[in-house]
């Protein structure tokens, strides 16, 4: 599989302050790339640079294997996007909005416009003016507009924002169809992991302008998703037994009475035996699944510490 997007050392400063710092990201062909970061982390700024809407201060961008140059237009005929809330001519119909967009892009194709409207289930609403559309319908119209020029790559900034649970489900299955049936690569930003974890093939985590993780979901699922929690009033004694008796260092004190052990080679019975031998009082020992949320939270904190130490 070839790469659809590659950035090298992508950096952006606004008025002397660095907002994006040394981002190296790779989006592979026909994958859904979940671009995750809290508000203000820098997702939109990266996407705007990818779309040539703003110029990087430093670094390079490659789209479809070719280096992006100032004033380039060709690659953007192959990309559909929604950056921030899509804006429409509210008094015109959904269909007319799409027609105008395609004419403007020089890619007018009536068949594809109908197909795009059907795809997002707006076929029957296509002749209604947009001001009569609900928020969810407008989000879907935004996708239809982005798809109506038959792009190979879709760049969508927070497309799930503000949708109700049903709308989120519909959107997710739409993204999968776009990848699987239309063979489109998708770069989707979100500030909520739960919104994209089921559909993303790769997740890139951005924090304070730095890409702190870029991992395939397979890698993420196989990495430390389990731990053993120990609830105890004697947290220091448990830490002592782990470190000096059992020689285990991959654990974390997570609260006044809570300690989490990520080393899964340690059997629960051996742990209990050693804690009893060393007369440590224990309230509970449980095996738990570490949620992805927790995984990313920790990665984000690690990233902050890492950034702060530089």
Asked whether position 44 contacts ligand ATP by CB under 6 A, the answer is: yes
Among 7, 45, 149, 232, binds ligand ATP (CB under 6 A): 45
Query: x/- contact string, 268-287, with ligand ATP (CB under 6 A)?
Result: --------------------
Asked whether position 303 contacts ligand ATP by CB under 6 A, the answer is: no
Asked whether position 42 contacts ligand ATP by CB under 6 A, the answer is: yes
Burial class (CB in 10 A: 0-12, 13-18, 19+), 205: buried
Asked whether position 43 contacts ligand ATP by CB under 6 A, the answer is: yes
Question: What Rg value do the Cα atoms of the chain yield, rounded?
Answer: 24
Interior/surface letters 259-298, b for 16+ CB within 10 angstroms, e for the rest: bbbbbeebeeeebeebbeeeebebeebeeeebebebbbee
In the region spanning residues 168 to 197, those forming contacts with ligand ATP, defined by CB under 6 A, are: 191
Asked whether position 14 contacts ligand ATP by CB under 6 A, the answer is: yes
Question: Per CB under 6 A, which region of 38-46, 71-79, 139-147, 232-240 contacts ligand ATP?
Answer: 38-46
Question: Per CB under 6 A, which region of 37-45, 113-121, 210-218, 284-292 contacts ligand ATP?
Answer: 37-45
Asked whether position 37 contacts ligand ATP by CB under 6 A, the answer is: yes
Note whether 258 and 231 are within 8 A (CB).
yes
Question: Per CB under 6 A, which region of 34-42, 105-113, 142-150, 163-171 contacts ligand ATP?
Answer: 34-42
Asked whether position 82 contacts ligand ATP by CB under 6 A, the answer is: no
Distance of alpha carbon 117 from alpha carbon 133, whole angstroms:
13
Helix, coil or strand: residue 5: strand
Residue carrying structure tokens 């060393």: 278
Least spacing, CB of residue 36 vs ligand ATP, in Å: 10
Q: Which is nearer to ligand ATP, 206 or 230 (CB)?
A: 206
Question: Per CB under 6 A, which region of 43-51, 104-112, 170-178, 273-281 contacts ligand ATP?
Answer: 43-51
CA distances from 210 to 18, 112, 265, 306 (A): 10, 38, 33, 10
Name 185's Cβ contacts closer than 8 Å, sequence gap at least 6.
4, 27, 28, 29, 30, 31, 32, 33, 152, 153, 154, 179
Distance of alpha carbon 61 from alpha carbon 24, whole angstroms:
9
Asked whether position 75 contacts ligand ATP by CB under 6 A, the answer is: no
Question: Per CB under 6 A, which region of 35-43, 61-69, 92-100, 252-260 contacts ligand ATP?
Answer: 35-43
Distance of alpha carbon 20 from alpha carbon 42, whole angstroms:
6
Among 25, 32, 41, 280, binds ligand ATP (CB under 6 A): 41
Distance of alpha carbon 227 from alpha carbon 269, whole angstroms:
15
Distance of alpha carbon 239 from alpha carbon 101, whole angstroms:
62
C-alpha closest to that of 170 among 125, 137, 131: 137
Among 40, 65, 162, 194, binds ligand ATP (CB under 6 A): 40
Least spacing, CB of residue 49 vs ligand ATP, in Å: 10
- List residues near ligand ATP by CB under 6 A: 14, 19, 37, 39-45, 191
């Amino acid at each position: 599989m070839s790469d659809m997007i590659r950035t090298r050392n992508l950096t952006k400063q606004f008025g002397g302050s660095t907002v994006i710092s040394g981002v190296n990201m790779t989006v592979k062909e026909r994958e859904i790339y979940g671009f995750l970061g809290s508000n203000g982390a820098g997702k939109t700024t990266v996407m705007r640079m990818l779309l040539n809407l703003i110029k990087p201060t430093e670094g390079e961008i490659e789209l479809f294997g070719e280096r992006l140059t100032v004033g380039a237009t060709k690659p953007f005929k192959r990309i559909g996007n929604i950056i921030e809330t899509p804006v429409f001519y509210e008094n015109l119909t959904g269909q007319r909005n799409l027609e105008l967009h395609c004419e403007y892009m020089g890619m007018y194709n009536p068949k594809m416009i109908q197909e795009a409207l059907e795809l997002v289930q707006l076929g029957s609403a296509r002749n209604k003016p947009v001001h009569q559309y609900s928020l969810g319908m407008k989000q879907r119209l935004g996708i239809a507009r982005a798809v109506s020029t038959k792009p190979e790559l879709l760049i969508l900034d927070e497309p799930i924002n503000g949708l109700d649970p049903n709308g989120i489900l519909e959107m997710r299955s739409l993204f999968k169809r776009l990848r699987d049936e239309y063979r489109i690569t998708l770069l989707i930003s979100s500030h909520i992991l739960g919104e994209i974890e089921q559909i993303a093939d790769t997740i890139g985590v951005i924090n304070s302008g730095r890409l702190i993780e870029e991992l395939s979901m397979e890698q993420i699922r196989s990495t430390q998703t389990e731990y053993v929690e120990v609830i105890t009033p004697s947290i220091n004694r448990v830490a002592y037994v782990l470190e000096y008796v059992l020689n285990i260092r991959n654990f974390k004190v997570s609260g006044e009475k809570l300690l989490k052990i990520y080393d899964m080679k340690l059997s629960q019975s051996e742990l209990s035996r050693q804690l009893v031998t060393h007369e440590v009082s224990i309230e509970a020992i449980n095996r738990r699944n570490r949620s992805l949320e927790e995984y990313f939270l920790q990665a984000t904190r690690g990233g902050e510490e890492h950034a702060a130490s530089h």
